[in-house]
């Protein structure tokens, strides 16, 4: 039985992956590094900000000390927030889909590799914050996707003070990348992929759709049957 829907944020609720890419490159260019669009989507899109900078350092591309990562993350967040306020937009179909789940009293959560201020600013501007019971962001976990820690923490928070606990198999996760899909599966949850960032052939999920408007409540319930 369907008891909860957990959303990734970037690439699922808001069309912001390209804004993250631009913000990363703005910071990296100060250090003589620039990511191509192809390598960002192939390698870095699923990383948290910290993991992205750490990976570049470990790969020998970013010549700074690990202790400087926090400063780079702060710079990137400031740049992203500016871009999100001026250029961010919701993905088509999201608002109606959230309203449908709310009307059917299905709890909704977010589990994202983005930072909480980046998520909150978009939700508040779009008047969507009220839909989400729980938000788990990058700074709340030690291991990012594809590790399941984020989804398990989301469920733990969702279950706080509940007399009847929701089980992983009663949750549907909506993601746009295989990093997130792998994490959700490892947490024992059902998966839906939207083709906002990758083609259907590149996504390994229980169900793949082009847009959330294609999904019905029955589709979600069938995954948990």
Distance, CA of 7 to chain centre: 7
What percent of the chain has pLDDT above 70?
A: 100
The rounded distance, in Å, linking the Cα atoms of 33 and 135 is 32
pLDDT one-digit tens code per residue, 139-190: 999 999 999 999 999 999 999 999 999 999 999 999 999 999 999 999 999 9
Reported as a pLDDT band with limits 50, 70 and 90, residue 200 is very high
Strand pairing category for 4-7 and 171-175? parallel
Reported as a pLDDT band with limits 50, 70 and 90, residue 34 is very high
* All domains of the chain in start order, with CATH: 4-16+89-223 (3.40.50.1000), 17-87 (1.10.150.240)
- What pLDDT was estimated at residue 118? 87
DSSP state of 201: G
User: What pTM value is reported for the model?
Assistant: 0.85
For 26-65, the DSSP string reads: HHHHTTT----HHHIIIIITTS-HHHHHHHHHHTTSS-S-
- What pLDDT was estimated at residue 87? 84
Residue 89 has pLDDT above 90, yes or no: no
Residue 125 has pLDDT above 90, yes or no: no
The rounded distance, in Å, linking the Cα atoms of 4 and 6 is 7
């Amino acid at each position: 039985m369907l008891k909860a829907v957990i959303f990734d944020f970037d690439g699922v609720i808001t069309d912001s992956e390209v804004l993250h890419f631009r913000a990363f490159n703005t910071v990296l260019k100060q250090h003589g590094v620039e990511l191509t669009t192809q390598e960002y989507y192939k390698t870095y899109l699923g990383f948290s900000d910290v993991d992205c900078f750490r990976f570049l350092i470990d790969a020998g591309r970013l010549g700074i000390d690990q202790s400087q990562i926090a400063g780079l993350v702060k710079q990137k967040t400031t740049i992203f927030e500016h871009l999100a306020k001026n250029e961010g937009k919701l993905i088509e179909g999201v608002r109606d889909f959230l309203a449908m789940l709310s009307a059917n009293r299905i709890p909704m959560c977010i589990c994202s590799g983005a930072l909480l201020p980046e998520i909150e600013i978009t939700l508040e501007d779009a008047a969507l914050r009220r839909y989400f019971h729980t938000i788990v962001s990058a700074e709340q976990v030690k291991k990012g996707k594809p590790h399941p820690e984020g989804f398990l923490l989301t469920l733990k928070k969702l279950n706080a003070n509940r007399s009847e606990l929701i089980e992983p198999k009663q949750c549907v996760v909506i993601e746009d990348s295989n990093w997130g899909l792998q994490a959700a599966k490892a947490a024992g949850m059902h998966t839906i992929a939207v083709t906002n960032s990758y083609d259907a052939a590149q996504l390994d999920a229980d169900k793949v759709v082009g847009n959330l408007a294609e999904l019905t409540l029955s589709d979600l319930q069938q995954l948990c049957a």
